[in-house]
Amino acid sequence: MVVSNPRGTDISQFKQAYRTRNEGDFPDRLIIVLQKEWDLKYGENPHQHGAVYYPVEIAGKNADTIAKLTDLRSVNSAGYGKGGLSMTNTMDISVAMNTLKYFWNRPAAIIMKHTVVAGFALQTKSQSLAGLYRTARDADFRSNFGGTAAFTRPVDRETAEALFEMRHKNFFIDVLAAPGYEEGVVAYVEKERKAMRIGEFRTLEPLPKFAGDETYGLKSIKEMPGSGRFGIQDLLLTRIKSEADLIFDPLVTDKTGIHVINRDPNPEEIDDLVTSWYLNLAAARSNGVLVVRRGVSSGIGSGDVERVGSVERMIVKGMQKAMDREGIAYDPLKGITGWENLKENPFNRAVCSSDAFFPFEDSVKTLARVGVTAIVQPYGSERDGQSIDAANEHGIAMPATLERIFGHF
C-alpha cells in the first residue's frame, strides 16, 4: 500500500550494494600450508580416498580456541573395523556445527542431510534434549532417514535411546555428533548400531558468528569445479546479532510512491525470525527460504533456480510431511491435495526467512496463502515496493536485514 507522510526507515538506496564493487586486500600470491589431522574412512564416495587437514597458521593457541572435531569411531572402534567418518559425514557434522554455533547457549537438535538442514528444534520452553531430537526428527521424518544428528548439549542416555526407538519403521540415524557424551552413552550407541559413526566437538561458543568477530585467519575457500581454480572470500558472517539489528519498518520509494511496512512482528515471531535467519545463513543453498514455527523448522527450500519455485516446493514438501505425521493419504503426483484437512497446518502463524530479496511479489502472496505471518529478508529489489504492498495487504510483518546471505556450495 502506498502511504502518505510515512514513518519508517528509508532503505531505498540499499539496492546499490548489489551494484558496488567491494574488493578486499588479497595478495597476488597466496600460499596455504595444511597439516593432516586424520584420514577419512573414504571421500565423498567409497572409491575416493580422503583426509582432513587444518591450516598450520591456526595451530598452537588458536587450535584450542576454535571447535575441534574428533572421530570417536576411528579412535575407539570397539572392534568394528569399518567405522570412522567419510567426507560426507564430516561435511554434514561441520555444517551442523556451523549452524548450531548460533544456538550454543540453548539446547537444540539438528538433523542434516547432504549439508542441508532437514530437521531442527530449539528449546522454547523446557523440552528435554530427547524431546528436541524427536521434534527435529518428525519435522521431516522421511528426509531424516539416515541423517546426521547433532546437538548443542552432551548426549544423555534418554536421548541416545530415542535415536533407536523408531527401528520398527526401519528408521535410523547414520551419524551422531555432540559436544560430549554422558558416561556409558558411546558404548550404548555402539552396541545398538555398530555402523553408527560418532563425532565429538568442543564448545561452539568461540566459533565466529557475527560481523567483526575474530576469525582466526580463516577464509572461505571454494573450488570452482573443472576450472582448476579456487575462489577465496571472507567467512560468511551476519550483522544480525539480535532483534535489535533488524529494521522493523523498512521504507522504499519508487516511481509509484512511498511504501512502508505497517506491522511489527510480535515477540514469538521475532524469536522465530532470528532463528530462521541463522538456519538459512548456515545451512541452505542460494535461493534459500526457510520456515520456522515455535522454534521448529517447518519447511526449507534450498538451491532452487527460482525464488518463488523454492517457496512453492518448500510448501509442498512441508505440507506433505505434516500429512505424513497425521496419517493423511495423498498422491505425490498431485502435490498437496488434501492439506486443508490437516489438524495442524505447519505454516500457520509461522515465519519465513529469504536469503536474498524477492524479485516479485509472488513469493509473499504464496506464503500468505498458507498462513505465514512474518518474513525476514535483505530487500534491495527494484520491486521492493510491490512486496511491501503484498505484505501489508495480508498483515505480514517483514523486517529487513540489509545483507544477502547467498551460499553457493
pLDDT in tens, 357-379: 999 999 999 999 999 999 999 99
What is the domain class of 67-201 according to CATH?
alpha beta
In contact, 43 and 49? CB cutoff 8 Å:
yes
187's CB contacts (< 8 A; 6+ apart) are 78
CA distance 18 to 129: 42
Identify the residue whose cell numbers are 533407536: 164
Average pLDDT over residues 231-247: 96
In this predicted model, what pLDDT tens digit does every residue of 264-274 receive, in sequence order?
999 999 999 99
- With CA atoms as reference, report the closest residue to 390 among 382, 400, 398: 398
pLDDT at 83: 65
CA distance 71 to 41: 10
| DSSP 8-state secondary structure symbol assigned to residue 264 | P
According to CATH, where is 3.40.140.20 located in the chain?
9-22+238-393, 67-201
In contact, 160 and 186? CB cutoff 8 Å:
no
Average pLDDT over residues 162-168: 95
Average pLDDT over residues 247-272: 97
| DSSP 8-state secondary structure symbol assigned to residue 14 | G
* Strand ranges (E), 342-392: 351-354, 374-376
Average pLDDT over residues 287-311: 94
- With CA atoms as reference, report the closest residue to 280 among 387, 134, 120, 153: 120
C-alpha cell at 7: 514513518
- Residue 79: pLDDT band with limits 50, 70, 90: very low
- With CA atoms as reference, report the closest residue to 375 among 341, 346, 400: 400
pLDDT of 292 over the 70 cut: yes
What is the domain class of 9-22+238-393 according to CATH?
alpha beta
pLDDT of 142 over the 60 cut: yes
CA distance 152 to 150: 7
Average pLDDT over residues 19-26: 92
| DSSP 8-state secondary structure symbol assigned to residue 30 | -
* Strand ranges (E), 225-295: 229-233, 250-254, 257-260, 289-293
| DSSP 8-state secondary structure symbol assigned to residue 266 | P
| DSSP 8-state secondary structure symbol assigned to residue 238 | B
In contact, 317 and 335? CB cutoff 8 Å:
no
Q: What does pTM read for this prediction?
A: 0.94
pLDDT at 357: 97
* Strand ranges (E), 182-246: 197-201, 220-224, 229-233
